Structure 1
Amino acid sequence: MNKIRKVPPKDAFRDAILMNNRTYNDYLDRMRKICLSMFEWVNLPESMNARFIEQCLYYQGQCALLYDSNYGYLNTMASDGSYINIYGLPTEIVCYSYRFNQRRSLYTTDIGMVKDKECILVLNNYDRVPTTYTISLFAYRLAEAQRTADTNIKAQRTPVLITTDQKQYFTLKKMYEEYDGNTPAIFADKNVITPDALKSLKTEAPMILSDIMDYKREIWNEFLTFMGISNLSEKRERMISNEIDSNNELVNLNLQALLIPRKEACKQFNEKYGLMGSKAIDVKVRSDLYNVIKQFESVTDDYNKSYSWNGL
């Protein structure tokens, strides 16, 4: 005779932990996509990869640009390989990737060194701090707020707690299954179900979803500001011009903290390898939002200049 395998009861705690992790990873993925797509690297040699540059900067805070006699121009991960110079940067860089590992001298100024003996260090910011650390904190706070909102919504569905003894537990459970199934009438034995045996407690929770969503919006806008992306925490008509200007200034400063080190690396790369004019590499902000920097650096602006709108 075959034994029937008993399925264990639903583990609510396990499911809650799983949903917590899914929510956190979801917000982390959303923000990482924004971070990795902010900048466009222009005129990179075909042997180089812009996606990998941004991934290295996001996860490690730095990467290396170099020339190799076998592979041509490359971009790799980078780590400190020697003592620190007077400006706080390593004098040698370990340039490594999958099936590639070389030690190179750090390029500072062109002293005529052989082409494949130096490398350019690209910084995510002047502190060489990866973006992922801060993004993880934003994702955690957003996930906590969203899971709190989920719990608050569920609390609206279970406003009553029924108390009874163990003998009548299954009887009451069966009765309320009929209630949940919209049975028009529920019958019970008057000798079994008595007023003293059945009591209920109100467990209704206040609806705070609106406050939670406002908090989430503030966290999301703080993330956008950190990444140098234009945002307004309030409707524009409610803000005075000084508040808008102050927000734009903070956005621009955060954007420059990411953009300037990348541009400096492009300048060094062009100097080191003699790339000029249309062959020079550059980095631009991939956005059509207006602010002081993006007005001049946006690839959308370049696109609009070269495209005829036929008078529309």
Structure 2
Amino acid sequence: MRKPKQNIFKNNYKFTDSLILNDETFYDYIQRFKRIALSIFEWVNLPSSMNEQWLEYSLYYDGMATLLKDEKYGYINTRCSSNGNINIYGLPTSFNCYSFDYRTDRRLYTGLLENISEDRRKYLEDKQCILVQNNWDRMPTCGSMELFAYRLYLAQRTADVNIMAQRTPVMVIVDEKQRLLMENLYNQYNGNQPFIFGDSKQLDNDKLRAINTGAPYIADKVMDYKKEIWNEALTYLGINNIMVDKKERLVSDEANSNNELINLNLQSFLAPRKLACKQFNEKFGLTGTDKEISVRVRSDLHNIIKNEESIIKDYVKENPELLESGVAQNG
């Protein structure tokens, strides 16, 4: 018989609440990143039987997905796992394509001219799938986003604790019998409620001590660090993060260098998706037709990237002293 676990938090419900808040903060950042990542790309002309949301979801969590034609459903997209040998380009030769209540084994379409008979070729064409890669390494996005979310969670909770320390920069030491009493009093204090207590029999002054923790205010520095982590995450996703609150960021060379890095990160996600579209159109004879599928960066994001230069110029016009100081340079 297993020994029942002890509730180590039974005498400290405030600690239990902090654990819940820690988890919620971390989960909140993960969800924010996921919503951003799933909204970057727009698939154009996908057949109505396909689902763009499920496709990007599969790429986000699995790093790869498949496009195929099924006898029952028509054109569909599924999650997948490799289950074959490796071809000359280091790609699996076949995949287990699956979804809810669906599974099929498909051979990878590569366009290679294999030395097989025409009948065999026709048979394979009906059993092939197109591989969609999240990036050239077929790595999911979620792992990196969880790391960024963890760093943001640490920064945010550190700032929360530091701000709370400014409200109550003391540590109170009381007898264990008076602990619940002081917790109830502090609950009113933390809830921004004034409290008055006048029972000298319950509050023993001889056993009550307060120690000043002297916690320095560092929340502003922590929030600056948090912004840097957030911007690094957006750069990783290929999203322009314009920062005009600091003069140093208006230097043209730095802006151009950052834009190049953002573009390369974006292309690392976009190029494999474009290749999948090209192969899908080739295999099913859609190239050059009005049914040809494609993928692109969503127009709103594209406009933001293109308008960055004008935004910086407008900021410089409103702050002409930057030109005089030589910090900003005209493009």
**TM bracket (short chain):** 0.7 to 0.9
The aligned counterpart of 1:283 is 295
SS where residue 201 of structure 1 aligns? strand
Contact kept, 8 Å, 1:76 with 1:96, in 2: the verdict is yes
TM-score by length of 1: 0.81
The aligned counterpart of 1:212 is 222
The aligned counterpart of 1:247 is 258
Structure 2 residue 144 is matched with structure 1 residue 148: no
Supply the AA of the counterpart residue of 2:159: A
Q: CA separation in 1, counterparts of 2:102 and 2:184?
A: 69
Q: CA separation in 2, counterparts of 1:175 and 1:43?
A: 62
Q: CA separation in 2, counterparts of 1:274 and 1:139?
A: 43
Cα offset, 1:279, TM superposition = 0.8
Where do 1:95-174 residues align within 5 Å?
95-109=97-111, 113-114=121-122, 115-165=125-175, 169=178, 173=182
1:102-130 per-residue CA deviation (whole Å, 9 max, x = no partner) reads 11111111757434221110000000000
Q: CA separation in 2, counterparts of 1:255 and 1:291?
A: 15
Q: 1:175 to 1:22 in 2, by over 3 A?
A: closer
Tell me which of 237, 241, 266 is aligned to 2:277: 266
Choose between structure 1 and 2: higher helix proportion.
Answer: 2
Where do 1:1-312 residues align within 5 Å?
10-109=12-111, 113-114=121-122, 115-165=125-175, 169=178, 173=182, 182=194, 186=198, 188=200, 198-233=208-243, 235=245, 237-238=247-248, 239-275=250-286, 276-290=288-302
Cα offset, 1:184, TM superposition = 7.4
List gaps (5 residues or longer) in structure 1: 1-7, 296-312
Deviates more, 1:64-73 or 1:258-267: 64-73
Cα offset, 1:86, TM superposition = 1.7
Aligned residues: 282
Contact kept, 8 Å, 1:38 with 1:287, in 2: the verdict is no
The aligned counterpart of 2:321 is none
1:259-306 per-residue CA deviation (whole Å, 9 max, x = no partner) reads 0000000000000000133210000101434589x76xxxxxxxxxxx
Q: 1:229 to 1:175 in 2, by over 3 A?
A: closer
- CA RMSD after TM alignment: 2.9
Cα offset, 1:160, TM superposition = 2.5
Q: 1:45 to 1:156 in 2, by over 3 A?
A: same
The aligned counterpart of 2:5 is none
List gaps (5 residues or longer) in structure 2: 1-9, 307-331
SS where residue 300 of structure 2 aligns? coil
Q: CA separation in 2, counterparts of 1:174 and 1:76?
A: 54
